[in-house]
Amino acid sequence: MEVILLKFTNYWLPAVIAGVAALLLGGIVLLRSDTLHHRVFPVQASQTGTTLRTTAAAPTLQEENRLIFVQSADPDEQALIQSTSQALRYAKVPYATIDPDRLASVTAGERTVLLVAATDLTPLAGSLQTYIAQGGRVVFLQRTAERPAFLNRILGVKASGPDRRATGLVFNQTLFPGYPDIAQDDSDAFTHESAGLQLTRGTKVLLSSQEKVPLLIEAANGRVQYWNTHFLHDKLARGLFLHSVGRLLPQFVTAQAGVQVMHIDDFPAPVPHQTTTVADASGTPMSIRTFYEEHWWPDMVRIARKYNLKYTGALIGTYTNDTAGRTIDLYQTMRKTGQKFTRAMHHLGGELSLHGYNHQPLLLASDPADVTLKYRPWPSAAAMQPGLAAVGRLAKTLAPNDTLTTYVPPSNLLSSTGVTAVRTAFPRLDTIAALYYGDTTDSRYVTEYGPNATAPNLLNFPRSASGYLLAPMTQYHIAEVASTLGVVSHFIHPDDVFDEARNSGQNWADLARGYEKMAAHIARTYPQITPLTQHSASAALRQYLQGRLDVRYGRNRIQLLSRDLPHLSSAVVRLTPGQTLRRSPAAHITRLAAGLYSVQPRQANVTLTIERGVSQ
């Protein structure tokens, strides 16, 4: 028996030891590999479902506001009507148009406003004079070539000098929260050709230039407004138009989608093997990876948790410039940082979006492009596919349970060929997040919010602001889209701090303080807007754009009827000075400014009660 046992031990013991060693070694390899993290303990992006608020009930109140554009055959005036009417469409405010020769058929009333885009008022002067004399309300949407005598009297013009150049923007009245005064140094977009007007004491100037030139005049006891500028042609003025028009009406309701998205472009991405000294004022040298892991990302996490931000990180695979269709192993170039940051972003409720295989825009040689940017065009649409497939595999490795649904064009350059290529590679893509402001020359991809022109089943959800600092123009860009659509869509880069054009001469500690200040400003100023990932925000906005808000007015009452609107959407209610909204169990009511309230309905059919008292 002892001999048998000895033989067994001599034969099997080395095999057992070898097996145990193999298991231990395999466990160590597994623990050090990404398989355990991604396949055994995957983290999935947080998604917020879109619950609808809807009713088929007929309104019980009968009065409606009527905004009526006076039609024009002039292309410049048509463009003005198109831009200002877009603000009304975003805010779900109904409007109509009327031919100039039918002006006499419009009955003056406290809930009817004529919107006049004409620069030559001579053909309209008689009808407009009669309409205003009968108590009618009118907005003159741009500076006119000449002002008829009756209009000068109404506006309280004492004297009129030659046209002059005016700069900047100064708010003498709050139209909507968050708009800052703008100096000429902030942006040359705020340059106006305005008439040099001297006004009587009883005329209100709602907006003026830095030089105190009146830009938006309100007269006739709040029944007539005159824009002494051509500024309303610009997207930058849509919110100003929308919320100034509301002052002419007894009450005015606009809708809000109520969503916020914070993008981090080029994140995750390969991290350069270089040294930096930008962490703080001490100038301590460290690797860029150390800076990201020990300074930048901890601050981003802290601020996200404090203000409930959900990051959408735009993944990029490599910074090589190859556009020939050759690909490299993307995962090995960003194995550690990509894995770490993707999981950390997911733990905050964030998600991945697509920025590209590399940072070369999806343009062909035949597409117009700014040659100073030195990008390489792709030889064909087919050559785009291998790189897109490679970055798709990288995304699936980093986040196996995620699906890429958003594309962020590198440098905001994109062609229709590129749109088709991305959609081919990622069939479940549903959003293109480009830019809202800017021009469309040289393939710059500037869009409205809504269906994509190349692929209408894609949603354009452009970003309206960028950077870590709440500079005046950044604050203005945020306010403009928040006021018209109820959307905040912002983007930053991890490497902004290394770029002199983007860091404003500040180190990361300064930028982090600025970023936190901006997050606090948005949360405080726009409590009706909820932070989401891009995928969730797109679902909510798509439904918002398809839905409808029916508004009816009565004596001391306002009825809101939601027709297939997402539950995060809300309404902004403007009241006449001296009026307040009574609290209601059917809605969450928040004061935004004097006489201005955010109303978040708790049900689809809500009737609000207006009370007399000091405006709050």
pLDDT digits (tens, 9 = 90+) for 475-506: 999 999 999 999 999 999 999 999 998 999 99
pLDDT digits (tens, 9 = 90+) for 303-352: 999 999 999 999 999 999 999 988 888 998 888 899 999 999 999 999 99
Largest CA distance in the chain: 126
Residue 101 has pLDDT above 90, yes or no: yes
CATH class of 66-249: alpha beta
Nearest residue to 409 via CA among 366, 452, 450, 372:
452
Structure tokens at 316: 């990029």
Is 314 in contact with 350 (CB distance < 8 Å)?
A: no
Non-local CB neighbours of 25 within 8 Å, separated by 6+ positions: none
Residue 16 has pLDDT above 60, yes or no: no
pLDDT digits (tens, 9 = 90+) for 515-546: 999 999 999 999 999 999 999 999 999 999 99
CA distances, 255 to each of 87, 97, 176, 279, 406 (Å) = 11, 21, 14, 42, 25
Give 598-611 as a 3 state SS string.
Answer: EEEECCCEEEEEEE
pLDDT of amino acid 5:
41
pLDDT of amino acid 614:
58
Scan for tokens 């309206």, then name that residue: 464
Taking each helix axis from N to C end, the angle separating 381-398 and 416-425, rounded to the nearest 10 degrees, works out to: 40
Indicate the burial class of 388 (C-beta count within 10 angstroms; 0-12, 13-18, 19 or more).
buried
Give 289-314 as a 3 state SS string.
Answer: HHHHHHHHHHHHHHHHHHHCCCEEEE
Residue 546: half-sphere exposure toward Cβ, Cα within 13 Å: 14
Range 456-466 average pLDDT: 98
Please give the Cα distance from 317 to 337 (Å, whole number): 12
Fold of 259-541: TIM Barrel (3.20.20)
Which amino acid, residue 163?
D
Rg of the Cα trace of the chain? 29
Look at phi and psi of residue 209 and say left if phi exceeds 0, alpha if psi is from -120 to 50, else beta: beta
pLDDT digits (tens, 9 = 90+) for 576-590: 999 999 999 999 999
Computed over every residue of the chain, the mean pLDDT equals: 93
Residue 85 has pLDDT above 60, yes or no: yes
Using 50, 70 and 90 to split pLDDT, how confident is the model at 40? Answer: very low
pLDDT above 90 covers what percent of the chain? 87
pLDDT digits (tens, 9 = 90+) for 382-422: 999 999 999 999 999 999 999 999 999 999 999 999 999 99
Using 50, 70 and 90 to split pLDDT, how confident is the model at 19? Answer: low
Using 50, 70 and 90 to split pLDDT, how confident is the model at 13? Answer: low
pLDDT digits (tens, 9 = 90+) for 110-122: 999 999 999 999 9
pLDDT above 70 covers what percent of the chain? 92
Nearest residue to 92 via CA among 252, 261, 234, 259:
252
Indicate the burial class of 527 (C-beta count within 10 angstroms; 0-12, 13-18, 19 or more).
middle
Look at phi and psi of residue 38 and say left if phi exceeds 0, alpha if psi is from -120 to 50, else beta: alpha
pLDDT of amino acid 17:
57
pLDDT of amino acid 343:
96
pLDDT of amino acid 325:
87
Residue 613 has pLDDT above 80, yes or no: no
pLDDT of amino acid 8:
42
Is 554 in contact with 251 (CB distance < 8 Å)?
A: no
Please give the Cα distance from 294 to 343 (Å, whole number): 16
Residue 29 has pLDDT above 70, yes or no: no
Burial profile 240-279: b = 16 or more Cβ within 10 angstroms, e = fewer:
bbbbbbbbbbebbbbbbbbbbbbbbbbbbbbbeeeebebb
Range 424-436 average pLDDT: 98
Listed by start position, the domains of the chain span 66-249, 259-541, 547-612
Residue 434 has pLDDT above 50, yes or no: yes
Structure tokens at 515: 């970023």
Nearest residue to 80 via CA among 217, 232, 193:
232
Range 178-206 average pLDDT: 92
pLDDT of amino acid 1:
47
pTM of the entire predicted model: 0.92
pLDDT digits (tens, 9 = 90+) for 209-255: 999 999 999 999 999 999 999 999 999 999 999 999 999 999 999 99
Please give the Cα distance from 462 to 412 (Å, whole number): 10
Would you give the end-to-end CA distance of the chain in angstroms?
98
pLDDT of amino acid 42:
53
